Structure formats: structure tokens, C-alpha cells
Structure 1
Amino acid sequence: MARWFASRGWAPRRHQRDMLAAARAGRHALLVAPTGAGKTLAGFLPSLVELTEAPTDRLHTLYISPLKALATDVQRNLLTPIGEMELPIRVETRTGDTSHDRRTRQRARPPEILLTTPESLSLMLSYEDSFRLFADLKTVVIDEIHAFATGKRGDLLALALARLQAIAPGFRRVGLSATVADPDGYRAWLAPHGDIDTVALVQGEKGADPDIAILLPEGRVPWSGHSGRYAAGQVMAEIETHRTTIVFCNTRGLAELIFQDLWKVNRMSLPIGVHHGSLSLEARRKAEAAMADGRLRALVATASLDLGVDWGDVDCVIQMGAPKGSSRLLQRIGRANHRLDEPSEAVLVPGNRFEYLEARAALDAVEDGELDRGDFRPGGLDVLAQHVMACACAAPFEAGAMLHEVRSALPYSALTDEAFDRVLGFIADGGYALRAYDRFKRLTKGQDGLWRLSRPKFAAQHRLNAGIIVEAPMLDVRFRNGRKLGKVEEMFAASLSPGDTFFFAGVALEVEGVKDTDLVVRATSRPARVPSYMGLRLAMTTNLADRVRGFLADPGQWARFPDDVREWLEVQRLRSALPKPGQLLVETFPHEGQHHLVLYSFEGWNAHQSLGMLVTRRMEALGLKPIGFVANDYALACYGLEPVTDPAALLSPDILEHEFVDWVQGSALLKRAFRDVAVIGGLVERQHPGKRKTGRQVTFSTDLIYDVLRKYEPDHLLLRAAWADARARMTDVGRLGDLLDRAQDTMLHVDLPRVSPLAVPVLIMIGRENVTQAATEDAMLAEAATLAAEAMRLD
């Protein structure tokens, strides 16, 4: 090993030696080191040493990745040192893309190192031979641990680790990350039974400070928009002056738009690609291979490439729109110059003036080393139901032993006996309202006290349908010859008729029709729109929100800002007010025959969407005749026919007890959450042997069951889980509750004769929230100019 380092002219870094020392001491370890510091090699070094000193033909090391692409990339990079050191070690991947024959062979004759994902590991644990497969396991390496530890995929992985602990009690757990703000939280998550003292914390050396710039437009910082599309020409100029550039976008729809915008100004016809999660596997792999081979000058991408894929020739990262968090920004910056001793170069392209402040806040946070904290939460009961079913597929189990095993995983450490019994009861018969149906009776308790599968067919059914990621109903986009381009959501496809056009995979397509689960298309040169996708937008993190509030309250900082941003804040201070940290500014004013109320709460788009629903319901009840609302990450604007004289009456904390409950239970929100937990919990199958249900069929099935349970068993386990999801994940209810708790004591109400400067970015969105056509953007720019002129007048 030492000779190999020397042959490269390298020496092991301190944190790589520390990881070896932790392994020698038999300790679990969390390595926090910047991108380019050799984290992945540090995680594998102990395994390579052990396999050199004591060769085996058994599975020795599991590597868990949040991305299939990352597992493939690590395999490629790991094979290089293994080959150069001539080590007799086999390394293979096992993901959803692995062929059935190879998966079967891997269970019978596993490699020494297996690279996989949480979902594939859970499936491997569902087989009877899992006890033999994992019996000699020595190490589990979890890469990019911050990316999934706090979510449902983390719940599934924590449970899988607990099961591995029962099979191979002595194995070591290793976590790797570049962006962990709360190491102790992740050490507790990593440790069996949350015993933090068993996990060594290894800190990597600090790398070169990144070189980050905010791209300012050739004219003025825009008043509206959140995409940075105005800067396509300047972004293209950056691409022309760098070897390889990744252009990150926060949504799949924006990635398609930016790709088209860049092609329009690509005077040198440089090779540019696009990469996001809805594209076909073939299209994604083609783009990844082209990047790896240096055949692309730029790749427009989403979070599908946030993590770890190592392309050494990338020398610039561009973020379109606001970064939304310092950790995410650092993760994306790390894709450039994947080396510790060279600064990564990045450019931020803010979409409007608030986004400029957010970009500046993100730069300051990165310079101060301030990262976003993970939000650990109790594990989901739907995930637990899926895991228990996987264990039952492998072998009968005793309830007490299973509960003890499950509690060793931190997300389930406080699981009550009653909650676990409810999970078992749900898997056994579906619950009180569904127990008359045999298809829900998946487990049976025998006279020996062990729980086992009711019928062998339930094992095959589980393996076909297991998984945590539940996509919105999708249709395959195909040419008439059968070639698949990727997927679009059914809701978008339903809005299309034959002859309609849309952009996808960087190509303008014309709809020919829908056949079964396929949207059949052909290429066209006609103007096209971009698919819309459901799901949450990335919300600005609380630490960036606090920094932006700090900017507003501290004129001493304004000298750092462009002239037009500084003027915007100065006129706001003269005409209205700027909120102090912790203060809630509420403005009311008339505009174009309507009365507007704008709250500057900085709690993120998702929370503001929920609050808008609640406030307009309360306005209706108070006779204020609301018309609608719009929101961005920074503000919420409600408008109606009557003036609001007492905003405090609209924002009392009991709105979460009354309007919120009524709204969620009466909206599609809870049904959508129930669909997800019903699929994860195994109540509804997505696939049958040889046939996959359409998203519409799955939704129809879950809606029927939802209505039955709401009527006959409102306390059902999955309704509880859906309610928890709807509250916590889909509405940012925690941030909403904090806002309402402080609203009465911190509210500053300013009644104005006309629109304020701070209100312009959110008011421009009225009537245009969901439209992305270029003509509409032009109209928005024209309206923004008129509205801004009114807001900035000092008379």
C-alpha cells in the first residue's frame, strides 16, 4: 500500500491514516473532509489493508451510496488502485440497473467489495440466503451520509444496519461526508443504539478556499424571476473560457429551459448536454460517459449530479438561481477541481434582488464555515412496515427480538410497544377496516410464537414493490420506433393533445398520442414549452434566511451590494420599513383596484404556500373577499376586494389547530401523502409479475382505500403516517408554527398608500406563477419596470 502511494508521488493524508487507526482499534468512524481530500479512498483503505493481509472469498465490505451513478463512478475509481497494486479483490455494483442473472450470481458468489444503494441492500436482506451472504461482513461504508440520513431512505438504511448487526455483530460502520454541520448527530445516527462514544470523529484537512463570484447582469439586477435566464449569454461566455462546466439548476423544468437558452447563444457550437432524474437511464449514462471522456464542454444538471461523481476536468460550476443552502452550495462547488489544494471555481446567477441577497448570504456562510444542520426526526412507520416485511421474507421472527433489533436504529430508538404492535397488526391483516380481504393478510403468527409469511407469493410481491422513492404518476416518452427518452408526469401529459409541443431531453417534441403508459412523440422544430413537475421546491435554509434578514437590518452591509440593490433597500427604508432580525414586517396597500397584504417572513416557498391557503380561508371567513395569493421564498402576498386593517387577526397561532387541519383533511394533500405511505408500507402494489400498474391505477387504488379508512378506521396506522408526512414534509409546518408563534409579539404593520419596493418581486408573480413561456417572461419584465417605477417614487 505504501509503495503504491509512493509510486504516485503521494503520501497518505492525516485523515486517511486516522481512518486506518480507527479500524485497527475496531471503532466505527465518521469522516468529515472537503471534496478532493480522498474521502472515498480513506473509507476503503482499511478494507484494502485487511483484504491484503487476510484474503477471503466472502463479502467483506459493503459500500452504500445514495445514487446509482455514484456507485458506478466509485467502482471505476476504486478499480484503478486495486489494479495497480495487483490486489486479488473483486469489486462489483448491485443497484436497480443490475441484471437479474448478475444479482443471482452475487448472492451465491459475492465479490469481496459490493457497491449498492439502501433500497438494493433492503432487497438483499429479504432473501433466505442473506444470513449466509452477510455472515462474514466486516465493514459498511456509507458515502454522502448527509444526503439521506435524515429522510425516509435514511430510516430504511438505519433499519438495514440493525438487521446486519444481528447477522454479523462485529462489523464496522463508516460514514463519509464533506458537508456535515452536526457531527455528533450523525455519529449517533451511525452508532448501534445511538452510542456516540463508539464512533470516532475524523476531521480532514481544510482545502483551498473556493473562488466564488456572483454574476451581475450587464444591465441591472432583475426585479423578478428566479431562474437567472437573463444571463444566458454571460453563462455561455463562462463556458467558452473553461475546459468543462457543470450548470446546476434547482428543478428539472429549469434545466430544460436553461439548456435551450444556452443553445440559442452557443455561437461556437460547443458540445453541451443535459442531465436530470426524469431522463432515461440510457440518456443519463450517455451524458455521464461524455463528461468522463472530456467530450462535453458543459452539462446542465439538477440535484441528480449533486453528489460525488468525480470528473477531474470540471473546472467551473455555475448555479442558476439562488443556492438555497450553504451546504448544498459547497456540495455543488466541490464538483469543480476535485482536488484539495486547488480552489474550486464557481459562479452564482441570482434571479432577482432578493436572490442576490441570498447569494451573498451563501458566500458569507461558506467563508465562515457555516453549514446547514440536518433535521433528525422519528422514523416513518410505513418504512418500518416495509422493513419488517423484508425480514419476514427472509425468515420467521419473534416479535420481541425484532423490536429490540429495530430500536437499535436511532430513528426508531423511542418506538413504543404499542406502535410496533400496530405495525405488526397492519402487516398481518391490513387493519380493522381491511381484514376481510385475504390480499392484506401477509403475516401469520404460528403456535411457536413466530411471525411468518402467510403465503410464499407475498415474498415475490414484496420484492417487486419494495422501495422508498415514490414518484408522481409518470408516462414514458417514446418515439414511434420505441426509443425511450425518459418520463414526464401524468398530470403534464394529460394537459397535452396531439400536435402540442414540448421540450424534453434537450429536444423539441410534438405529441402524436398516448398509448397505454407511453406518450408517443416525434421531433419538431416548432416552438415548445417545458414539462412541469410536481413536488416541493428547494426551500431556503434557516441560516441563509437569518443572514438575509441581517442584511436588511444593517445598512452598514449595503456598501457591498450593487448600486441598484442598495438603492432598492434605501428607498424601502424611506417609504416603509425594513424588518429587524426576528421581526415580522407586514405591509398593506391598494394597487389596481385591489387591496394587498404582504408578509416578509423568509420561511420558504413551501411554508408560504400553506400559509397563503390558510390566510385566504380566514379572510373569507372575516368577509374580506380574498381573490388569491402568491409567494416566493421571502414573502407572501394576499389580495382581495376589502382592505385588511388588522393583520394580527389573520395570523393567530390557532390557525394551525382550525384552518390548517380542515384544509389538509379536505385537500388533495393528505390523499397524495397517503398514496406514498400506502405504496411504501406495501398496502398497494405498483407492480405485478410481468406487468406494472400505471400511476393512475395506483392512485385510483389508494384513493379507494383512503376513503374506506377515513370512514371506518380514521386512526389507521397509514392515515397517521400520511398525516405526519403532510404536516412535516409537504408544508414545512415546523417553520410555519414558529412564524405564527412569534407573529403577535413581533409584527410591524405598515399601511402604505401604494406598493413598496420590497413588494415588487412577489407582486410581479400574480397571475403568472405557473407559466414559463418566453413571451410571458417579456411581459413580466415590462410589468416589473412599471411596478418598480411606482414603488421607487419618493413623493
Structure 2
Amino acid sequence: MNREQLFNLASDWFHQQGWKPFPFQTQTWTAFLQGKNGLLNAPTGSGKTYALWLPIVLDYIKKNPDYKEKHKPGLKAIWITPLRALSVEIKQSAERVVNDLGTQMTVGIRSGDTSASERSKQKGKMPDLLVTTPESLQLLLASKGYEKTFKDCSAIVIDEWHELLGTKRGVQTELALSRLKKIAPNMRIWGISATIGNLQQAQEVLLGMNSEAYRNSVLIKAVINKKINVISIIPDQMETYPWRGHMGLHLVDEVAKIIKASRTTLLFTNVRSACEIWFQRLLEKYPEFAGEMAMHHGSINRETRLWVEQAIRDEELKVVVCTSSLDLGVDFAPVETIIQVGGPKGVARFLQRAGRSGHQPGKESNIYFLATHSIELIEASALKKAVENTVVEDRVPYLNSWDVLVQYLNTLAVSDGFFPDEIYEEVKSTFCYQAMTRENWNWILNFIVNGSQSLQAYDEYKKVEIEEDGRFKINSRMIAMHHRMQIGTIVSDATLNVKFMGGGFIGTIEEWFISKLNPGDTFTFGGKKLELYRIKNMQVLVRKADPSKKSRLVSWMGGRMALSAQMSELLRQELYRANSDDLSPELKALQPMFERQRKESIVPNADEFLIETFKTREGHHAIFYPFEGRFVHEALASLLAYRISLLSPISFSLAYNDYGFELLSDQEINMQEVLDNNLFSTDYVHSDLQKSLNATEMARRKFRDIAVIAGLVFTGFPGKMIKTKHLQSGSQLLFEVFRDYEPENLLFQQAYRETFEHQLEEGRLLLALERIANQEIVWKQCEKPTPFSFPIITDRLREKLSSETLAERIKKMTASYMK
């Protein structure tokens, strides 16, 4: 068949569904059939899945004219998705195409949820089209004879590439692609990405630096003007002194009105504990939602999550309270409305969530923004601007992730073994390892064969053997089994399964939370009140609790997200507009707060940097406002505290949020002396940071994850996971050995590098200091706390008080400041 006939097949199929192909879809079909690689950038819900499934099937038809009678089995295309939850939907889309076009192609899924019987069936006979995850693709590379499996594969599609880019799973994918390019030379590589700023770089990372694949590639952008309506929920009464902690629950009635007026609503919270709280509060206040409301987050068991997803599609639910577990890809046509509780901290995440409503070409998306405290309305105003001008974050790719490379080489050694010179060229062609030297490479090879220099006496670190023909191979069945069980780069706190005593799996809870409870204690999880019976074999056994008993809400670590660089920039621009006449509805609503702020201090302009000092019964407060996000503020607070302590001996307690940070002391800072000593200098930032923060402690924690990924510590067998504290002590011991005897160890150095680059965002910190150096520093000596400082100083109280007494205390404080 020629291209025109193939296109007619595709267009006819589209018409049968009652659709018309978009220009970006036909462009993708053309480029794919011409043998090109590429990156497709299209918004959520625009039909990007069919932009690539169709040409894959058309290509098969082109090569097999008698495709209706004869079928050539074997793997023809791989579709990689970062979320297992999406696999079912992607498989259904593929099956619809292959069945309607009359091919005899089969579609299969390979992920952590695939049963053992299905896996062994696939071993004997691979499906034609395989939907899988980055981890499962690595497992396929760890199986004997993998080259035969992949050699005739004609395409690989990496879905939601923006989610993988800038993560170690992305690096894992880069390495897998470097191998597949070699063993399947006719394979086309395509990425699909929704919201991302650095598209050109994303394409380069996907296809490899200066590679043939990159030279023969296209970037296709879908030009679809999807209308996104951002509506802020503005309370009737505005707080003059805002505080964080009530999660916007005072607006529960407003939320209920929106829910009642829509077919289906998704209510997004940023963290799982807020998801649990909102679900409880809605149910308490509006019992009529029972049966029409559900909860969805990553720790709830898979069966429940799948049931919720299907119930949304079948329009059986009025509202689902969820977290980022529903951010990606799952297609819910009935969803009309999205409610975002609290600032989403990034434009891309906000757009992604907005796109979950009106998830069909041509439909409008409606997203309500519910500020958990009034300053967040500035974020809402900034997000509106970002949506209008489609300003989206860049995703910064990883460089030199030695832990992922160690894991990958062990994967190749577990299957058929590898020859170092051949693999060196492949690895060097990736974006992540472009700067790798021969010296680095030889260190890594020596590490997997002999353990590192300081571990040579211990056989358990000698995993790979060099065979007579120079092939590097793992021959020990025990090492191979341990390695296969630990493939992956997502390292989280140990999680325990929560089960009813009579059986019945509810979900997973982190070890640190459950370790604080005693048998008989009650906690709320997954919308149920549960009583802890006992912990046995990494399982939390529970029974239903007495509904009248007071219970603790489950919380998870790592829930606090920080503002992205783009979001911080937008927020500052919006804040500076508060002094102009050009006010958005949100800024108008905040006028009482701004007036109070001006009365006590100022609202800074673009060329001003504000510092406020005042005294309360807690001590002397100095508050700085860079508006750069909490991670940058955490590092800046430590840096400034260290620099001030060099001038005179003084100790501080630190607090920070997304807008600013506070240094609190029992003695007054001589602020003028501090400013005269060039406090915000960019000189010596790295060494000052190392001295000011407990950088070693942070690197030690980071090293635990690196040690797990590189296979230095074993996390245990399924159902018999090793406790976090044992993992921590095992990796800590290694960290100390490397620090004392082998500081040039690449994994040890990586722990420090990642701490500064990813956790402390050192690059952003330097940019913030440069910006402050060009601003006029305005130091205001205030009589009492200001509205801007209030969320920061009340955050500290939260550690000491329950939410009820905190609310009462804040009420009293506000009343006294308003006098």
C-alpha cells in the first residue's frame, strides 16, 4: 500500500469514530511513516495516543500486505508509560485500532501488576504491541536472550516524557534506549510530552546527544487553543492576617455549591493528608454525598483506585478528592470541574490538573482555585497570567547519575553479559553521561567487579565476573535474584501494608507514622476509622474503630512542595502589581491585607528587597522576603544565620515558607552592621553553605537512596522488607567508610552533588542573591508583626499546639494586632 492508501485507512477509521484528525496527528503519521524519530508536544485530552498508535499499525500493514490472512508474531512496538494506572487505557486504545483495522496483532501489558502466569506466557510469546513501565523494560533487559526479543521492534514510544525528564527514571529510560538503538537499528523513537518549557532539550535528552536518531528527528507541536477558565474562590470576608493550616476548610460550603452544580468534580489537594481531611470534612458536613464521593491517592490499594477510575468514567461519582495520583493521562470525559486546594507550586502541574476537565478536543476546562490562606490568592492571580501566556517550567535533566549506571550495568551482566568497550560508546552517547571520562568508566567497572577500593575485602560487593572472552557477567543466582528484585530508581520510606485482621487489604502507610502509634490507638485512613491491633511482618493489622473515639489522621513524609522557579518569578511580578492601579480581582480582594501591610511596613516594588524586624514575647524577629520558594529559603536562612554569627556570637531558630524566612533570636541583630558587611554576597556561597547547613547529614540521607539504587544495600524480599532504620544504618556505615578512606568514590561524591543541586537548589540560590544585590534593601523596624510575616511566625506555633488551640491562639493574636 502507498502512503495515500494508508492515510485513507486511518482517516476512514477516524470518521467511523465520529472524529476528524487534527493537523498534528496527520503530521505525526507522515513523519513516522517516513522513518523519522520525534517528540510530539500536545495538550492533555487532544488525542495524542492515536497520533502514534495509528502509524505503528499502518507501518505493519505497509510491510505485510496480506495482513488480514497472515500474521507474523513477535514484538513490534513498545509503549512506555510512567504510571501503571494508565496502562489499561493505553492498551484499550491500541486494541480498538488493531481490531477495527482487521489486523491480527495482539496487545499486552508488562508492569508490576502483571501476574506471574501472564509473564511466563509472554516469555514464550511476546505480544506484538507491549505497554510497559521504565522499570519493567529494565527487567526485560535483565532476561536471557533479550536481543532476540527486541531485534525486530520497529517503534518505542515514551509517553508523558515530561514526567520522566529530570528524574532518575528518565536516566533509566535514556540508558535502555541507548541499548535498544543498537540491537534494533530500525526502531523509531518517539516521545509524547504535554506541558514543558525546554522542549528542544527534552528532544535531545530523549534521542541522545548528536546522535543519528536526533539528526533524523522532528518536533511536532499541536496548535490547539484549549480554553482554560481559572476561577478563584474569593471568601466574603478576607483575613487581614493570613495563616496556613486550616487548609481552606472554612470554604467547605462554597466547594459543596460547585460540586452540586457539576456533573463530576475532581478536588485536588497537594498532599495525601489534606486529601483525607477534605474527604472527612465534606462527608461530615454534607452526608448526602455518601455513595457519590470517593478518595484517590497513591497509598490506597490498587483495586479501590481502579474502581474509582472506572466509576468516574461511568459517571457514578459526583466528586473525587484526590492528589497527583490523578494528574496524568487517565481520560475522564465526564469530568466538568476541577477544584485546586492551595497553590499547586508550579504552572505545569496546574495546567495538567486543569486539563483533566473537559478532557476532549474542543471542550473548555474549568478549574477553581481555593486559597488555603489569603496570600495564596496572589498565586491564583499569577497562575491566570501563566495560563494566558502559556508560561511553563523547564525540566532539568540529571547528569552523571553513577548509581543508575551501576544498576544498569548489573542488569546487562545479569542477562547475557556485556563487553565494556561496546557499552561505553552507547552510554557516552546519552545526555546524562555525555561528560563521562574513561577514568570514570574504569572506576565504575572496577566497582561492579571488585567492590570499591575500600570494600575489596568483602565478597558481597563483588558482583560481576570477567569471563575469558572479556565479557562482564553475573553468574551467582543469588546476586541475580537480589538485583532483579531491586531494579528501579524510586526509593521511598519503607511502607507497610494495612490489612483488616480478617483479611482485606486497605492500602500502604509509611513506617515513620505507624511507629508513633501503640496498639489500641485509632487513626483515620482511606476514609475509615481504624484501630491498630498489632504490627507483624511489615503488616499493620487493624480492626474497625469505635466511631466516637478521637483519631489521628495519617500523614506522609515529603509532602511539602516548593515553588518552581517560574512560579516564583510570576508571583513576584504579581506582588509588585499590588502597588499599581492594574489590579486583578484577586489583588482587589486582598486590598484590606495590603493596606494593613503598608500601615505597618511596605509592599515592596520590583527594585526593592524587604526586611522586617520586630519584637514579640518570643524574642527578636528578623524576616526576609525573597519570594523564592521554601527550598531556596531553607538554604538562604541557614546561609545568612551562619554569616551573621561570624560577626557576633548569636544563635537563631529558623522558619520559612514560600514567601520568606525568619531568623528568631533572644538578642537583637545589629541589622545595619549586617547590611554593611555585604551579607548577600555571592562569594564563597558553596563553602558557606557547607559550613552553615549540616550538609554532611543531608548528603548521608541522600546517600541512602544512592546506595539502594546502586545495589550496595539490599532492601529485602517481598513481604519481608528490611526496616528503614536498618537500611539507614547500613548505608551510613558505607558513607562513613567512603568519607574516611575513599573520598574520591563517585557514589559518595554524587551524594554531595545531588544535595546541593537538587535539594538545596544552589543554582537558584545564587540567582536570588544576584537579584537581591541589584535591589535597594528596605529595612523596616516594625512595632508588631505584619500580615506578610504572620504566616511564617504562626507556622512555628503549629509544632506546639493542636489545630483547635492554634486557631484560638491566632484569633487572639490577630485581635491584638488589629488594635
Q: CA deviation at 1:130?
A: 0.9
Map of 1:254 onto structure 2? 274
Give CA deviations for 1:503-523 in whole Å, capped at 9, x if unaligned. 211112222232231222222
Map of 2:119 onto structure 1? 103
Map of 1:280 onto structure 2? 301
Q: CA deviation at 1:264?
A: 1.6
Q: CA separation in 2, counterparts of 1:697 and 1:24?
A: 53
Match of 2:796 among 746, 763, 766: 766
Match of 1:697 among 703, 726, 736: 726
Q: CA deviation at 1:768?
A: 0.9
1:306-345 alignment, distance < 5 Å: 306-345=327-366
3-state SS, counterpart of residue 300 of structure 1: strand
Give CA deviations for 1:82-106 in whole Å, capped at 9, x if unaligned. 3334432211111111112212221
Map of 2:405 onto structure 1? 384
Match of 2:234 among 216, 229, 232: 216
Q: CA deviation at 1:113?
A: 0.8
Structure 2 unaligned regions, length at least 5: 1-9
Q: CA separation in 1, counterparts of 2:644 and 2:522?
A: 40
Match of 1:542 among 555, 565, 576: 565
Match of 1:297 among 314, 318, 337: 318
Structure 1 residues 456 and 334, CA gap change in structure 2 (3 angstroms)? same
3-state SS, counterpart of residue 171 of structure 2: helix
Q: Tell me if the contact between 1:577 and 1:750 (Cα under 8 Å) persists in the aligned partners.
A: no
Q: CA separation in 1, counterparts of 2:605 and 2:641?
A: 26
Map of 1:671 onto structure 2? 700
Report whether the alignment pairs 1:3 with 2:32. Answer: no
Structure 1 residues 429 and 482, CA gap change in structure 2 (3 angstroms)? farther
Give CA deviations for 1:590-615 in whole Å, capped at 9, x if unaligned. 22351111111122112222333444
3-state SS, counterpart of residue 411 of structure 1: coil
3-state SS, counterpart of residue 581 of structure 2: helix
Instruction: Decide which moves more: 233-242 or 265-274.
Output: 265-274
Map of 1:496 onto structure 2? 517
3-state SS, counterpart of residue 233 of structure 1: helix
Q: CA separation in 2, counterparts of 1:539 and 1:285?
A: 30
Q: CA separation in 1, counterparts of 2:762 and 2:805?
A: 32
Give CA deviations for 1:482-539 in whole Å, capped at 9, x if unaligned. 3222222222112112232222111122222322312222222122222232226222
Give CA deviations for 1:444-479 in whole Å, capped at 9, x if unaligned. 233433322253432222101111100112222222
Q: CA separation in 2, counterparts of 1:121 and 1:33?
A: 25
Q: CA deviation at 1:314?
A: 0.9
Give CA deviations for 1:616-642 in whole Å, capped at 9, x if unaligned. 455555556445222111111121111
Instruction: Decide which moves more: 657-666 or 83-92.
Output: 657-666
Q: CA deviation at 1:144?
A: 0.9
Q: Tell me if the contact between 1:444 and 1:452 (Cα under 8 Å) persists in the aligned partners.
A: yes
3-state SS, counterpart of residue 795 of structure 2: coil
Structure 1 residues 65 and 177, CA gap change in structure 2 (3 angstroms)? same
Instruction: Decide which moves more: 194-203 or 105-114.
Output: 194-203
Structure 1 residue identity aligned to 2:73: D
Instruction: Decide which moves more: 9-18 or 84-93.
Output: 84-93
Give CA deviations for 1:338-378 in whole Å, capped at 9, x if unaligned. 11211011111111222110111011101112111222231
Q: CA deviation at 1:580?
A: 3.3
Q: Tell me if the contact between 1:323 and 1:359 (Cα under 8 Å) persists in the aligned partners.
A: no
3-state SS, counterpart of residue 62 of structure 1: strand
Structure 1 residue identity aligned to 2:788: L
Structure 1 residues 390 and 565, CA gap change in structure 2 (3 angstroms)? same
Q: Tell me if the contact between 1:253 and 1:533 (Cα under 8 Å) persists in the aligned partners.
A: yes
3-state SS, counterpart of residue 142 of structure 2: coil
Q: CA separation in 2, counterparts of 1:206 and 1:297?
A: 29
Q: Tell me if the contact between 1:243 and 1:315 (Cα under 8 Å) persists in the aligned partners.
A: yes
Structure 1 residues 510 and 731, CA gap change in structure 2 (3 angstroms)? farther
Q: CA separation in 2, counterparts of 1:490 and 1:747?
A: 48
3-state SS, counterpart of residue 513 of structure 1: strand
Structure 1 residues 111 and 583, CA gap change in structure 2 (3 angstroms)? farther
Match of 1:44 among 31, 53, 60: 53
Q: Tell me if the contact between 1:194 and 1:410 (Cα under 8 Å) persists in the aligned partners.
A: no
Match of 2:283 among 263, 272, 295: 263
3-state SS, counterpart of residue 765 of structure 1: helix
Q: CA deviation at 1:551?
A: 2.2
Structure 1 residues 582 and 134, CA gap change in structure 2 (3 angstroms)? farther
Q: CA deviation at 1:70?
A: 1.1
Q: CA separation in 1, counterparts of 2:523 and 2:800?
A: 15
Q: CA separation in 1, counterparts of 2:81 and 2:816?
A: 49
Match of 1:225 among 231, 236, 244: 244
Counting matched residue pairs gives 789
Map of 2:263 onto structure 1? 243
1:94-493 alignment, distance < 5 Å: 94-195=110-211, 196-221=214-239, 223-225=242-244, 227-270=247-290, 271-453=292-474, 455-493=476-514
Structure 2 residue identity aligned to 1:156: Q
Instruction: Decide which moves more: 356-365 or 750-759.
Output: 750-759
Structure 2 residue identity aligned to 1:684: V
Q: CA deviation at 1:756?
A: 2.4
Q: CA separation in 1, counterparts of 2:719 and 2:658?
A: 44
Give TM-score, length-normalised by structure 2.
0.92
Report whether the alignment pairs 1:17 with 2:26. Answer: yes
Structure 2 residue identity aligned to 1:708: V
Q: Tell me if the contact between 1:624 and 1:644 (Cα under 8 Å) persists in the aligned partners.
A: no
Q: Tell me if the contact between 1:244 and 1:314 (Cα under 8 Å) persists in the aligned partners.
A: yes
3-state SS, counterpart of residue 412 of structure 1: coil
Q: CA separation in 1, counterparts of 2:813 and 2:296?
A: 32
Structure 2 residue identity aligned to 1:433: S
Percent identity between the two aligned chains:
31
Q: Tell me if the contact between 2:612 and 2:782 (Cα under 8 Å) persists in the aligned partners.
A: no
Structure 1 unaligned regions, length at least 5: 791-795
Structure 1 residues 104 and 656, CA gap change in structure 2 (3 angstroms)? farther
Q: CA deviation at 1:689?
A: 7.8
Structure 1 residue identity aligned to 2:272: R
Structure 1 residues 391 and 566, CA gap change in structure 2 (3 angstroms)? same
Q: Tell me if the contact between 1:316 and 1:336 (Cα under 8 Å) persists in the aligned partners.
A: yes
3-state SS, counterpart of residue 705 of structure 2: helix
3-state SS, counterpart of residue 766 of structure 1: helix
Map of 1:793 onto structure 2? none
Segments of 4+ moved more than 6 angstroms? none
Structure 2 residue identity aligned to 1:158: E
Q: CA deviation at 1:215?
A: 0.8
Report whether the alignment pairs 1:732 with 2:761. Answer: yes
Give TM-score, length-normalised by structure 1.
0.94
Match of 2:36 among 27, 47, 64: 27
3-state SS, counterpart of residue 289 of structure 2: coil
